[in-house]
Chain A
Amino acid sequence: MINPWMRYLVWPLVKFLVAFVIVQVIVAAMNYIERRLLGFMQARLGPNRVGPKGLFQIIADPIKFLLKEDIVPTSAETVAYFLGPMLPLIPAFIVFCLIPYGPPPTFVPTDTNIALLLIVALTSTGVYGIILGGWASNNKYSLMGGLRSAAQMVSYEVPFGLSIVGVLMLSGSFSLVKIIKYQEMHVWNLFPQLIAAFIFLVAMNAENNRTPFDLPEAESELVAGYHTEYSAMKFAFFMLAEYSSMTVNCCLMVSLFFGGWSLSLFGWGITTEGLSHLGVWGGLIGAAIFITKVMIFMLIYIWFRGTFPRFRFDQLMDLGWKWMIPLALVNIFVTGIVVLAMKDLKFNGEILLSIIGAATIAFTLFLLFRGARPAPAKVAHAR
């Protein structure tokens, strides 16, 4: 048998390090991809001078951050100032060892049965760094930005957590691997839990301070919010933390609602069993599917940034407390009824929910692509 040291310490550490390195490469590349894709959406080219198509920008940016002059305001609170950027990084990095990147034996660093709970708890602790950073800068506007950001993140933790409860009820376990296996056997959790997926998407955006919820970082209001007074590497840490937690949230979204590394419907398609027959190649195919899905969601983040205006702060809090939480509670209520009906009345309510979810998506796409309605002949828009 495998040495317990190997099985429980060394081997997960190796897997974690590999995953960590790959994710950090993705994070560094995200900086470039964001600028380039945002440029394409805005009828311009992004960075395109540094290398072929601007690819060397990925190297040039970290070099710039490392070599830049590190300005520390004299009136800043020293310990908190230095601690501020490091604190959001710690949970962002730890979480990477809890996410399943591919089919179980090789590609999952650890397979605890409370993985989801741990992930939600760890990402909640990312707020401390922001508060410390904003306060330690000794700048009225940084403080305001930091507090606003903290209030926003804390208040969107609640819908974040509540929207997951429906998924938990359907699949019956906190372990991400089991949730993905459940989705293989049935349908992707997107369809029965459409409202929960939407709430999770919105809460994800709000957690990461991304448009349309990026008021704390908005240039036109408070210059740059809590990271105004940071330069060079400390600023890079904040950015790294933000992109890392974006990646973690995308991985969560994919695992919980979009089937993780599998592409199957009712057990028919690419499943864990099928992949395990192919050995190593099966694992790699599964990991590739997972990374593709995660990148699609990262691109959706950028897509949102390029399209929407931003919410005002009180409207943001309104949305979180008055709309997202009641919707999430309604979702839990309905899912609970469905699960009970499945157990007691042997009525497969989940299929009903999936059909409703799929029909809603189809109807939305139909309305979207139907083409313009004939414009009413009002003179204001006379051609």
Chain B
Amino acid sequence: MLVEYPKPRWTEKFLLLDMFEGLKTTFREIFKPKVTIRYPEERLEPADRFRGMFRFSFDRCIACKLCAVACPIDIIYIDVHDEQREVDGKMKKLKVLDRYDIDVKRCMFCALCEEACPTKPKSIWLTTKTYELASYDRNDLYFNMQELEYWEDRPKYTGLPEEETPKQLRGDVE
């Protein structure tokens, strides 16, 4: 299917109508409303599934290390040791999480770790709508377990509940 070549008529070529069409288009644009968002006074709220900064929940994590295996660049550092603990009168062998560090300065926010996490609701999630992570020192971007969980000094833009990532966000099928 051949593309359509414009065939201007003689009068249009002589009277420079193509130039005037362009001028008309730009002139009309002056009066249309502009889509600029004036950051930092106005802020664009990201979508619900936006892959922002991590948040980790120590209580939900079962120390399975699936997130560390799934990461393409191996930036999740996990240390686990086994412990014998008394639960309901019996000695059970539990895994205790020693170290859960993420080197955020190398992270590409691909969310493969979130996808690999088997707990419901997930123990590591990225749908926090936070993207203002800039800092003046590179070492500030190596987050250990406590910093990943501590969310008090971060802006609370999201309306998402902190305790649970709602199921309808991810379209999970039961």
Contacts from A to B (Cβ < 8 Å):
37, 40-45, 48, 303-304, 306-308, 360, 363-364, 367-368, 376, 378-381
Contact = CB atoms under 8 A, between A and B. Distances in A.
Given A303-B23, A368-B20, A360 B36 contact: no
A195 to B, nearest CB: 12
Given A43-B34, A45-B34, A381-B4, A360 B29 contact: no
B87 interface: no
B30 A41 contact: yes
Interface stretch (B9-17, B58-66, B156-164): B9-17
A26 to B, nearest CB: 21
Interface of B: 1-4, 11-12, 15-17, 19-27, 29-30, 32, 34-36, 38
B1 A363 contact: no
Contact of B29 (A43, A364, A368, A376): A43
Nearest to A37: B30
A252 B1 CA distance: 52
B22 A307 contact: yes
Interface of A is mostly: helix
Given A44-B36, A45-B36, A380-B3, A368 B27 contact: no
Contacts of A379: 1
Contact of B4 (A306, A360, A363, A380): A380
Contacts of A44: 34, 36
A304 B20 CA distance: 10
29 contacts: A37-B30, A40-B29, A40-B34, A42-B29, A43-B32, A43-B34, A44-B34, A44-B36, A45-B36, A48-B38, A303-B23, A306-B26, A307-B22, A307-B23, A308-B19, A360-B15, A363-B11, A363-B15, A364-B15, A364-B16, A364-B17, A364-B20, A367-B15, A367-B17, A368-B20, A378-B4, A379-B1, A380-B2, A380-B4
B19 A376 contact: no
Nearest to A44: B36
A380 B1 contact: yes
Contact of B11 (A48, A367, A378): A367
B4 A368 contact: no
Given A367-B11, A367-B12, A41 B20 contact: no
A45 B2 CA distance: 40
B5 to A, nearest CB: 10
Contacts of B34: 40, 43-45
B15, B21, B26: residue with the most chain A Cβ atoms closer than 10 Å: B26
A326 to B, nearest CB: 15
A303 B29 contact: no
A342 B24 CA distance: 39
A55 B36 CA distance: 19
Contacts of A43: 29, 32, 34-35
Contacts of B17: 364, 367-368
Contacts of A307: 19, 22-23, 25-26
Nearest to B23: A307
A42, A368, A379: residue with the most chain B Cβ atoms closer than 10 Å: A368
A44 B37 CA distance: 10
A27 B106 CA distance: 49
A303 B26 contact: yes
A303 B27 contact: yes
A360 B20 CA distance: 14
Nearest to A300: B23
A40 B36 CA distance: 11
A381 B1 CA distance: 11
Nearest to B11: A367
Nearest to A360: B15
A54 B62 CA distance: 55
Nearest to B36: A45
A48 B25 CA distance: 24
Contacts of A304: 23
B30 A40 contact: yes
Contacts of B30: 37, 40-41
- A-B residue pairs, 4 tightest by C-beta: A380-B4, A307-B22, A40-B30, A41-B26
A288 B26 CA distance: 27
A382 B168 CA distance: 38
A104 to B, nearest CB: 36
Contacts of A380: 1-4
A378 B20 CA distance: 25
Nearest to B16: A364
Given A304-B23, A364-B15, 20 more contacts: A40-B29, A41-B26, A41-B27, A41-B29, A41-B30, A43-B29, A43-B32, A43-B35, A44-B36, A303-B26, A307-B19, A307-B22, A307-B26, A363-B11, A363-B15, A364-B17, A368-B17, A380-B1, A380-B2, A381-B4
